[in-house]
C-alpha cells in the first residue's frame, strides 16, 4: 500500500479513491491511535467539521460512524474553516479533531485532515501508526475496542461552535478596522459565514462575493486560486483591499486598491515588520518555505529579520515554528501561521491582522507592500504519471543544471512534486521575467518528456 497521507491529510476523488468505507476505517484507525478509551475515564471526544462540498455530507456520516463505533463522542461543528476545527479541538479539550475538506482542490475531490490534542497537525510518526492500522489484515487491531450499550460514542451538534471561533478571532486583533472597506471572496467555501462576520465585527465595511455555496461551486473559478473576481470587485467597489480565501479558509491572499495581487510572501513581510516593531516577533525570525520569493529574503534582511526555510507544506512550517518557539511563519500560497493565536494557518485571522496593520499605520496596502520587492517568478504545474520517475530522471537533472548555469547566481530554480496532486511544480526566479519564462518552459518540457 502506498503512503495514504500527503502533505495535508488524506485526499482523493470523493466516492472513487476517497470512499465512505475508507473514511470510516480511517476514523477507526485514528481513534485507536489518538483517542483510545481508558478504563474508568470519560469517553474520548472528537471535533468534526467540514467544508460545504456535496461529498462532505457522505464523508461526515462515515467519519461520525467510525468514531462513535470506536467509543468516541463526536462534536459536529458543521461547515466551518479548517482553523476553526483546530481551535475548537483545543477549546473543547478534545482528544482529536477531524476536518473534511480538500482545501483549494476542485469540487470532485475531498479530503480528511486530522488534528491531535491541542489542535496540532500530526507528525509523520503518528500518521504512520494510523496507516499501519489500515493495511490488509489489520482490521482486528483497528477494531480491538468495540463498545456496546451505553459505551458507544454519541454524536451531537455544537451549535455555538462558530460563535466561539469568532470570539477567538476578535480577541486576536485590538485595532478597530473602522474606515476600511474590504471585498472578501469566500470561494463558496467554509468561510462563507465566518469571514464576513469576523471582518464586520472588527469594524470593516465588507462586500462579500462567492459566498453562496451550493455544494458544487466551491473553488469554481473563485477564491485564492482564481483572483479575477476579487480584483475586479475591488476596483468596481472602490474598496481599500480585497481578500481571497480557499475552500477551507486556511489561506488568504490579498489585492490592493488597484487590483494588484499581494501574495503570501508579501503578507508575511508586512506582518513580520509590524510584529518586530511591537516586540512580538520571537527571535526576530520569520519561518518560510523554499518556494518563497528571493525578494522576501532580501527584504527581511534589510529589516533586520532572519528567515528560516523549510520544505514546502504548512506542516513543516508548523514543525519549525514549534521547534524554535517562533511567532510567525507561512507560505507564498497564503498559509500564514501565528502560533500565539492558533495551531495552524488561519486565513481569516491573516486578513484581520493585515487590515489592522493598515488601520494602525494609516497606510494603503500598496504602500505597505514596499517592504519587499518581488523578483519575477514563474510557476508551472506539469501533470505527470510518475513523480518519482521525474525525480530520478537524468535528463531533468541536466535541464536543471543548464538553467542554473544560465542564471549564474542571479535567480533560483526549484522542481517540487505536489504532495496532493499528480503534478510536478516547476519554479524559476530571475531578474528578467522573460528569462524566467523561457527557462520554466524548457524545464517543463523536460519534465513532460519523462
What is the chain's mean pLDDT, rounded? Answer: 95
Answer yes or no: are the C-beta atoms of 364 and 256 closer than 8 Å. yes
C-alpha cell at 162: 462558530
Mean pLDDT, to the nearest integer, of 322-337?
96
Confidence of residue 38 (pLDDT cuts 50, 70, 90): low
Per-residue pLDDT, averaged over 410-420, amounts to 85
Segment of 24-38, 90-104, 289-303, 310-324 carrying the highest mean pLDDT? 90-104
SS (H, E, C) 197-262: HHHHHCCCEEEEECCCCCCCCCCCCCHHHCCHHHHHHHHHHCCCEEEECCCCCCECEEECCCCCEE
Q: Is 103 a catalytic residue?
A: yes
* Strand ranges of the sheet holding 411-417, from the earlier edge strand across to the other edge: 377-383, 423-430, 411-417
Binding site listing for Mg(2+): 103, 246, 248, 250
pLDDT over 80 (residue 424): yes
pLDDT in tens, 269-278: 999 999 999 9
Mean pLDDT value across residues 331-357: 96
| For residue 186, pLDDT beyond 60 | yes
Cα–Cα distance measured from residue 256 to residue 279, given in angstroms and rounded to the nearest whole number: 27
Cell triple for 182: 474590504
* Structure confidence at residue 1 (pLDDT): 59
Residue 312 has what pLDDT?
Answer: 83
In angstroms, the CA 323 to CA 178 distance is 37
Cα 427 from Cα 446, distance rounded (Å):
13
For residue 397, the Cα-to-chain-centroid distance in whole angstroms is 30
**pLDDT at position 442 over 60:** yes
Q: What is the Cα 46 distance to its own chain's centre?
A: 21
pLDDT tens for residues 117-167? Answer: 999 999 899 999 999 999 999 999 999 889 999 999 999 999 999 999 999
The pLDDT tens digits of the residues spanning 78-87 come to 999 999 999 9
For 417, phi and psi rounded to 5 degrees?
-70, 140
Q: Which of 103, 224, 292, 333 is catalytic?
A: 103
For the cut 80, the answer to whether the pLDDT of residue 377 exceeds it is yes
Which pLDDT does position 315 carry in this prediction?
A: 85
Question: Is the pLDDT at 383 greater than 70, yes or no?
Answer: yes
- Asked whether residue 39 carries a pLDDT value surpassing 60, the answer given is no
pLDDT per position as a tens digit, 232-263: 999 999 999 999 999 999 999 999 999 999 99
Res 380: pLDDT: 95
Cα→Cα distances 439→181, 412, 413, Å: 40, 11, 9
C-alpha 33/C-alpha 128 separation (Å) is: 10
Beta bridge partners of 181: 205
Its pTM surpasses 0.85: yes
Taking residue 145's Cβ as centre, other Cβ atoms within 10 Å add up to 15
C-beta of residue 167 within 8 angstroms of C-beta of residue 87: no
Annotated binding-site members: 103, 246, 248, 250
Q: State residue 2's pLDDT score.
A: 75
Q: What is the pLDDT of residues 94-118, one digit of tens each?
A: 999 999 999 999 999 999 999 999 9
Average pLDDT over residues 56-72: 98
pLDDT of amino acid 409: 78
Interatomic CA distance for residues 48 and 155, integer angstroms: 10
pLDDT-derived band at 340 (thresholds 50, 70, 90) equals very high
Distance of CA 160 to the CA centre of its chain: 24
Band (pLDDT 50/70/90 cuts) for residue 8 is confident
Which neighbouring-strand residues pair with 100?
A: 50, 112
Question: With left for phi above 0 and alpha for psi between -120 and 50, is residue 79 left, alpha or beta?
Answer: beta
| 40 pLDDT more than 70 | no
User: Would you state the pLDDT for residue 419?
Assistant: 73
Amino acid at each position: 500500500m502506498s503512503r495514504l497521507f500527503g502533505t495535508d491529510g488524506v485526499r482523493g476523488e470523493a466516492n472513487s479513491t476517497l470512499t465512505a468505507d475508507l473514511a470510516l476505517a480511517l476514523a477507526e484507525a485514528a481513534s485507536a491511535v489518538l483517542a483510545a478509551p481508558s478504563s474508568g475515564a470519560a469517553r474520548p471526544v472528537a471535533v468534526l467539521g467540514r467544508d460545504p462540498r456535496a461529498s462532505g455530507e457522505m464523508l461526515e456520516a462515515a467519519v461520525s460512524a467510525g468514531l462513535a463505533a470506536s467509543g468516541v463522542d463526536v462534536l459536529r461543528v458543521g461547515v466551518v474553516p479548517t482553523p476553526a476545527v483546530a481551535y475548537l479541538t483545543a477549546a473543547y479539550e478534545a482528544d482529536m479533531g477531524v476536518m473534511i475538506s480538500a482545501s483549494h482542490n476542485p469540487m470532485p475531490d475531498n479530503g480528511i485532515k486530522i488534528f491531535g490534542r491541542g489542535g496540532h497537525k500530526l507528525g509523520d510518526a503518528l500518521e504512520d501508526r494510523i496507516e499501519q492500522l489500515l493495511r490488509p489484515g489489520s482490521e482486528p487491531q483497528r477494531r480491538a475496542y468495540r463498545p456496546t450499550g451505553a459505551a458507544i460514542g454519541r454524536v451531537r451538534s455544537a451549535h455555538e461552535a462558530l460563535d466561539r471561533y469568532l470570539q477567538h478571532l476578535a480577541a486576536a486583533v485590538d485595532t478597530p478596522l473602522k474606515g476600511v472597506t474590504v471585498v472578501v471572496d469566500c470561494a463558496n467555501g467554509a468561510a462563507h459565514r465566518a469571514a464576513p462576520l469576523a471582518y464586520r465585527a472588527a469594524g470593516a465595511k465588507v462586500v462579500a462575493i462567492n459566498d453562496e455555496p451550493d455544494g458544487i461551486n466551491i473553488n469554481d473559478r473563485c477564491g485564492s486560486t482564481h483572483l479575477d473576481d476579487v480584483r475586479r470587485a475591488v476596483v468596481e467597489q472602490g474598496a481599500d483591499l480585497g481578500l481571497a480565501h480557499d475552500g477551507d479558509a486556511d489561506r488568504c491572499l490579498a489585492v490592493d486598491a488597484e487590483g494588484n495581487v499581494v501574495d503570501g510572501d508579501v503578507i508575511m513581510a508586512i506582518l513580520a515588520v509590524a510584529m518586530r516593531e511591537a516586540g512580538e516577533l520571537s527571535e526576530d525570525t520569520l519561518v518560510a518555505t523554499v518556494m518563497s520569493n528571493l525578494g522576501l529574503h532580501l527584504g527581511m534582511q534589510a529589516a533586520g529579520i532572519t528567515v528560516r526555510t523549510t520544505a514546502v507544506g504548512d506542516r513543516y512550517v508548523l514543525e519549525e515554528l514549534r521547534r524554535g518557539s517562533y511567532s510567525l511563519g507561512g507560505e507564498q500560497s497564503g498559509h500564514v501561521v501565528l502560533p500565539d493565536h492558533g495551531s495552524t494557518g488561519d486565513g481569516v485571522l491573516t486578513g484581520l491582522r493585515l487590515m489592522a496593520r493598515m488601520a494602525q499605520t494609516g497606510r494603503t496596502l500598496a504602500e505597505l507592500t514596499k517592504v519587499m520587492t518581488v523578483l519575477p517568478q514563474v510557476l508551472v504545474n506539469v501533470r505527470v504519471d510518475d513523480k518519482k520517475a521525474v525525480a530520478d530522471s537524468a535528463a531533468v537533472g541536466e535541464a536543471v543544471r543548464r538553467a542554473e548555469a544560465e542564471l549564474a547566481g542571479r535567480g533560483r530554480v526549484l522542481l517540487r512534486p505536489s504532495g496532493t496532486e499528480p503534478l510536478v511544480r516547476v519554479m524559476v526566479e530571475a531578474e528578467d521575467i522573460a528569462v524566467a519564462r523561457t527557462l520554466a518552459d524548457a524545464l517543463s518540457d523536460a519534465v513532460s518528456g519523462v
